[in-house]
Copies of this chain bind each other. A is one copy, B any other.
Amino acid sequence: MAEGSDDIQALIALMARLPGLGPRSARRIVLSLIRKRGGQMHQLARLLDSVATGSRECLVCGNITDRDECAICTDPARANGEICVVEDVADLWALERGHAFRGRYHVLGGTLSALDEIGPDDLGIPALIDRIRREGVTEAILALNATVDGQTTAHYIADALADSGVTVTGLAQGVPIGGELDYLDDGTITAALRARRRL
């Protein structure tokens, strides 16, 4: 047994399967935790148990929450007629960190994909269309990734909302803040050039 004890080996193996980690980084993390003499490890264990027990999907929007409905869905100030449709909870979190959007969200949990046989029903798109009508939404912002599947999904939702009177928008494409042209792919440069604006 190379790594100290059966539990240490099991912990490294479990950590190595987390996204972005591997055996080497898992070993580094576990060793650093052991060196800190328990305190941080017990704290991490306590938070993992608590999050595992307390977290679920918001019944309305799909955000992660510790209640039936998330803080955004229950905040009356955020019923401003705007709904932002995202693929993933991570995208919702990223938009919230920007503090720019003050409406509500809808998390699809993926994109349409012919290859993976994911259709509109799998993503709950009929329920989303329903929700948009029911909540008196005036603008649906489709904040989907600029990938083929993301854009296919956006077009599908835009089509489904075509006769609803709801304004459907998407995020602007262009050069990221601080982005160096040299490092951007050609598609982004072309899109940014086409959407150029007067200074």
Q: A-side interface residues toward B, CB under 8 Å?
A: 1-5, 7-8, 10-11, 14-15, 18-21, 25, 27-34, 38-55, 63-66, 70-71, 88-90, 93, 96-97
In the bound complex, do residue B29 and residue A19 qualify as a contact, i.e. CB atoms below 8 Å apart?
A: yes
Cα–Cα, bound, A2→B63 (Å): 10
Most buried by B among A29, A34, A40, A70: A34
Contacting pair A14 B27 (CB below 8 A): no
Instruction: Looking at the assembled complex, report how far the CB atom of A57 sits from the nearest CB atom of chain B, in whole angstroms.
Output: 9
Taking a contact as CB atoms under 8 Å apart, the answer to whether A48 and B51 are in contact is no
Contact A4 B64 (CB under 8 A): yes
Q: Which residues on the B side are within 8 Å of A32 (C-beta)?
A: 18-19
Q: Are A48 and B4 in contact (CB under 8 A)?
A: no
> Is B47's CB under 8 angstroms from A11's CB?
yes
In the complex, which of the residues A5, A51, A66 has the most CB atoms of chain B within 10 Å of its own CB atom?
A51
Copies in the complex: 2
Q: Report yes or no: B34 in contact with A41, Cβ–Cβ below 8 A.
A: no
**Bound CA–CA A5/B65 (angstroms):** 6
| Contact present for A18 and B7 (CB under 8 Å) | no
> Could you name 11 residue pairs across A and B whose Cβ atoms are closer than 8 Å?
A5-B55, A10-B47, A11-B44, A11-B48, A11-B51, A14-B43, A15-B44, A19-B29, A31-B88, A31-B89, A33-B48
Asked if B54 contacts A7 (CB within 8 A), the reply is: yes
Contact indicator A51/B5 (Cβ below 8 Å):
yes
Partner of A42, one of B38, B39, B49: B49
Docked pose: A71 CA to B50 CA in angstroms: 35
**Structural contact, B43 and A45, CB atoms closer than 8 A:** no
List, in ascending order, chain B residues with CB within 8 A of A33's CB: 18, 48, 51-52
Q: Are B54 and A48 in contact (CB under 8 A)?
A: no
Q: Are A52 and B38 in contact (CB under 8 A)?
A: yes
Inter-subunit contact B52/A45 (CB<8 Å): yes
